[in-house]
Structure 1
């Protein structure tokens, strides 16, 4: 049944593409013969009397939220997409065709369990904004607070299930038949995307994300996150403080108010890197409809973040290797880039570092011959990963959101300030972050964070030392036999051999101590104590 639904959805996609003549966006020479054959039956009717930008926008809207989000991403890349398409795709940010206001009100009343008049003094039945997943209306609470009410579109989940089912079917085909299908892990990527899109349907999750992000920037003048009203938040409805500002792409207003666009663009970059590296909690849906600017202070503009449904994070190891990769890449230290990819496990351990280094150099050198301000930071990172894929690098799902967000941030930054040198802004921050990560203050903070768990395990340490000592004694009992075997094999028992053998036993004892310490307590201090105990015993045996 699910496969039949996926096939039906595929045919609908083909019908929409054919009806809106979207294939004409590509030159005929670039269209595979299979595509022409599939679309031919759907192009028999009359083409809509619309320009190509309008046809693309309407087609994406008709195809649903997954395709709308793709259009949102394209709208942030004026360096890749023609201006006429950018203007029309910008309408996808918050001007998707709304659903009926009365249906919205009934949905909110059902979710909150009360008539709107019991909670709100005023409630505007005309939407303020309408996006692919949800719709927003303005209201005033009984205490006078101006708020916005957000609700998930009715029945949207069914559409998403069908789209994800189709994507999964295509992923299975790709993984089975494509030359590099298994390495690309398309099924895992679809599963990751499915989790992300369904998380976006849960507004309680978004509410929690907003609270966390607000806490992270509580004392910062760079970013403001609106307050949420927890008593009025449900899985499909949330109520949030109404904000007033200019949309991040409203360049005309910024110029009229005398906003320093260079400062604004650089602050956007700083916010992104702060979220990724300091907080490890970054907004991963930074299209223009979700970013506004407080223009009350022209010389010190600040950002306002909306729609925290999709947030990303990285493992500590990925954070570290990503920062070092970026620094090494822009220093043109291709050897270190290659070594870091191997150390991080992003490419197989068997990869030839020399060959990988040469491949990276061949790709990156033409890029870095340009002035820094002309280099696309996001494209350079993607090119690096594409080069790594030639060396059997598996797709890293945890980096997909980061790549997408970096492209969004850079696209917005260049719209605000075309001469933005993203590297000049990012480089000092990355250098500072790496130094602070291993500074005594940071290590002390980590020690305090781990201390409660270590203290909880500490009563087990005496038993651990006793058990390790017993193991060392057992090892000592067989040591003479091992020594005799070594003497027989070598036909002599010189002092140097005895020292070598003793060192080998010490290494074995320390390794055993590490093993028992790590296996029993899973903590570095316990393993260190076990090592020390084992070393002391062996020292006494062989001194």
Structure 2
């Protein structure tokens, strides 16, 4: 969970009411005015629904969209200038990378999109039979809009909070096991989910009270282009079968070497390692 300067609760209340179209008291039974966490784009408040269910509300901070668009415009212009004076940068598609970052960052501003991501990721965990070891929040659709995202609450400790982990871990090595689980789930999502979490760090991973790893904050996600996805799966298959030339071809397709490389020789070099 990140911590930056938070917005006062009166402003948060106005944003929620404007985005959801009703008074705060009509939407929630209770909202904690003190944020659980505050990041550059949004802050999160604990709340209780009229049904008694405990949730969290992610609220976009005012003025973020304008600042972000301006910063990204300068980044885009700067990238094009760099490629003009350093043509070798075109080989790594710096302008394309910047465009992808721009799309991802602007997409992060629409919490309806993040709500969709949560639904997809929960389905991935369930269908991959990973839901016994990992989880994520689910959106409350009727209390979600462009600037407000209401989600089920996960109770747990951030993996970056070493002291809290020592106090709450039920067994020795629980934190290390949680990190291993997170890596396994994330790597599986790269090839088996529609997207992968693109902002995985200790603040966005929880060791939940039920022992599972909780993935939170799905504002930024990544997607592999079909060519790269096929190369990643091909690399895994060739590793299992011991086909080193196929490994070489997959690595070339992923951009690990020039496309003109001799893949047969490359494969023999891999086998010799």
Q: Return the TM-score normalized by structure 2.
A: 0.85
Residues 1:327 and 1:215: Cα distance change in structure 2 (over 3 Å)? closer
Q: Which residue of 1 aligns with 2:51?
A: 143
Residues 1:318 and 1:126: Cα distance change in structure 2 (over 3 Å)? same
Q: Which residue of 2 aligns with 1:112?
A: 20
In 1, the alpha carbon distance for the partners of 2:179 and 2:109 equals 31
Q: Is the 8 A contact 1:105 1:125 kept in 2?
A: no
In 2, the alpha carbon distance for the partners of 1:344 and 1:144 equals 49
Instruction: Deviation per CA, 1:165-214: give whole Å up to 9, x if none.
Output: 22112211111111402222222111110000011001000001111111
Q: Is the 8 A contact 2:155 2:209 kept in 1?
A: no
In 1, the alpha carbon distance for the partners of 2:177 and 2:8 equals 41
The one of 6, 17, 31 equivalent to 1:123 is 31
Q: Which residue of 1 aligns with 2:140?
A: 229
Q: Is the 8 A contact 1:168 1:187 kept in 2?
A: yes
Residues 1:113 and 1:246: Cα distance change in structure 2 (over 3 Å)? same
Residues 1:153 and 1:181: Cα distance change in structure 2 (over 3 Å)? same
Deviation at 1:142, TM superposition (A): 1.5
Q: Secondary structure at the match of 2:16?
A: helix
Structure (1 or 2) with the greater helix fraction = 1
Q: Which residue of 2 aligns with 1:350?
A: 260
Q: Which residue of 2 aligns with 1:267?
A: 181
Q: Is the 8 A contact 1:174 1:186 kept in 2?
A: no
In 1, the alpha carbon distance for the partners of 2:255 and 2:152 equals 44
In 2, the alpha carbon distance for the partners of 1:288 and 1:303 equals 11
Q: Is the 8 A contact 2:139 2:151 kept in 1?
A: yes
Residues 1:349 and 1:290: Cα distance change in structure 2 (over 3 Å)? closer
Q: Which residue of 1 aligns with 2:86?
A: 178
Deviation at 1:342, TM superposition (A): 4.4
Deviation at 1:121, TM superposition (A): 1.8
Q: Which residue of 1 aligns with 2:228?
A: 318
Q: Secondary structure at the match of 1:246?
A: strand
The one of 202, 207, 214 equivalent to 1:293 is 207
Structure (1 or 2) with the greater strand fraction = 2
| Matched ranges for 1:155-234 at <5 A | 155-218=63-126, 220-234=131-145
Q: Is the 8 A contact 1:203 1:233 kept in 2?
A: yes
Deviation at 1:127, TM superposition (A): 1.4
Q: Secondary structure at the match of 2:178?
A: helix
Deviation at 1:350, TM superposition (A): 3.4
Q: Is the 8 A contact 1:247 1:288 kept in 2?
A: yes
Q: Is the 8 A contact 2:121 2:193 kept in 1?
A: no
In 2, the alpha carbon distance for the partners of 1:157 and 1:140 equals 28
Instruction: Deviation per CA, 1:103-158: give whole Å up to 9, x if none.
Output: 11111111111111111221222211101111111221222111111111111111
- Structure exhibiting the larger radius of gyration computed from Cα positions: 1
Deviation at 1:302, TM superposition (A): 0.9
Residues 1:269 and 1:349: Cα distance change in structure 2 (over 3 Å)? closer
Q: Is the 8 A contact 1:175 1:185 kept in 2?
A: no
Q: Which residue of 2 aligns with 1:94?
A: 2
In 1, the alpha carbon distance for the partners of 2:252 and 2:23 equals 60
Residues 1:349 and 1:140: Cα distance change in structure 2 (over 3 Å)? closer
The one of 255, 276, 279 equivalent to 2:166 is 255
Higher RCO, 1 vs 2 (CA within 8 Å, ≥6 residues apart)? 2
Deviation at 1:263, TM superposition (A): 2.8
Report how many aligned residue pairs link the two structures: 266
Deviation at 1:95, TM superposition (A): 0.8
In 2, the alpha carbon distance for the partners of 1:139 and 1:349 equals 54
In 1, the alpha carbon distance for the partners of 2:90 and 2:191 equals 31
Q: Which residue of 2 aligns with 1:339?
A: 249
RMSD (Å) for aligned C-alpha atoms: 2.9
Q: Which residue of 2 aligns with 1:133?
A: 41
| Matched ranges for 1:477-516 at <5 A | none
In 2, the alpha carbon distance for the partners of 1:133 and 1:347 equals 37
